[in-house]
Amino acid sequence: MKALRYFGERDIRYDAMEDPTPLGAGDAIVKMDACSICGSDLHIYHGHGFSEDVGFCVGHEAVGEVVEIGRGVRQLKVGDKVMVPAAVGCGACRSCLAGDVIHCANNAGGCYGLSAALQGVQAEAFRVPMADSNAWLIPDGISTDQALMMTDAMATAWFGARGADIRPGSDVAVIGLGPIGLMAVESAFVMGAGTVYAIDPVPERRALAEAVGAVALHPEVALETIRDATHGQKLPCVIEAVGADATVDLALRLVGRRGTVSVIGVQQSRRFPFPLERAFAAGLTFRTGTCSVPEEWPALIPLIQSGRLRPERYISHRMDLSQGAEAYALFDKRENGALKMVLTA
């Protein structure tokens, strides 16, 4: 089969690799219908990956059709259309059965496409371990595009908004208006936010946030503008969706007393100078971490089915898998309005 494989900094290749095969009785093989590039994939693309491996298939967001199942698979059959959460668990412990793969009791959690340990999904086909737990039938009323956004981006945005302690009437800032940040803006409004400040240096992305009702700001003026608008009180809820020291620092400057900062941008910083003295004095809550995607689906599915959330609106490009290297380069440079890149085989 053909897949997108990582060979080094800015070296993603559409290349041949071995067809996936079940490694256990609970595994399934899924033919990829659509996959997408996540902002966190750019860490790998930039050479700051999560392992020393090279030659592995990248990607962790995909939907597709089941084409083969192991003898232990009971909930799925060949021909089923499924959405596949970005991370997997053992599929057997209490946490995994509840959708919380982060707390897998058997330490079998992992994410697709970070190393050769679990090959990625930006491929013509891919293996899903313990598929009864780690692949879900696409619900009625959910389109392929919507399901694809739910495999990571939409779930992470909702997780980040929940982590910010948004209450009806809360004013909120979202820093970083990539797809997840824009979905976090929508999530905040659905949760009842009053004013949502959407912060990003890219004018086109700020315009998208304004289109759903946010107050869009350039990072250089965000602190002064928000301080003036709140008479110095600043904000009770801040979501950071970039993963850079500078944007985390901005989040901590924007949050007011007894406020909450929710950091969902993928972090690789090892020496962030956290202002612990101010956090203690102001009674701040600081949350960060990754999302266990299936945990968020019970809330998200009806909201998307009813049209209250529309994550598919942020798909900017549709390209063939064979154009994967070009798609990564466009996304990295933010050229031609690149926002959410969807690839099909």
Strands 110-111 and 28-36 turn out to be unpaired
CB 233 within 8 A of CB 258: no
Provide the 8-state DSSP code for 202.
-
The arithmetic mean of pLDDT across residues 128-145, rounded, is 97
Q: How far is the CA of 153 from the CAs of 136, 157, 291, in angstroms?
A: 16, 6, 10
Global pTM? 0.96
What digits encode the pLDDT tens for the residues 266-275? 988 888 999 9
- In this prediction, residue 69 has a pLDDT band, given cuts at 50, 70 and 90, of very high
Express each pLDDT in 234-252 by its tens digit.
999 999 999 999 999 999 9
Cα distance between residue 68 and residue 48, in whole Å: 34
- Whether the CB-CB separation of 288 and 119 falls below 8 Å is answered with no
Rounded Cα distance, 261 and 178, in Å: 18
Tens digits of residue pLDDT in 149-171: 999 999 999 999 999 999 999 99
Report how far residue 320's alpha carbon sits from residue 342's, in angstroms, rounded to the nearest whole number. 8
What does the pLDDT read at residue 76? 97
DSSP 26-90: T-EEEEEEEEE--TTHHHHHTT--SSS--SPBP---EEEEEEEE-TT--S--TT-EEEE-SEE--
Q: How far is CA 345 from CA 66, 78, 111, in A?
A: 15, 19, 21
Asked if residue 225 has pLDDT above 90, the reply is yes
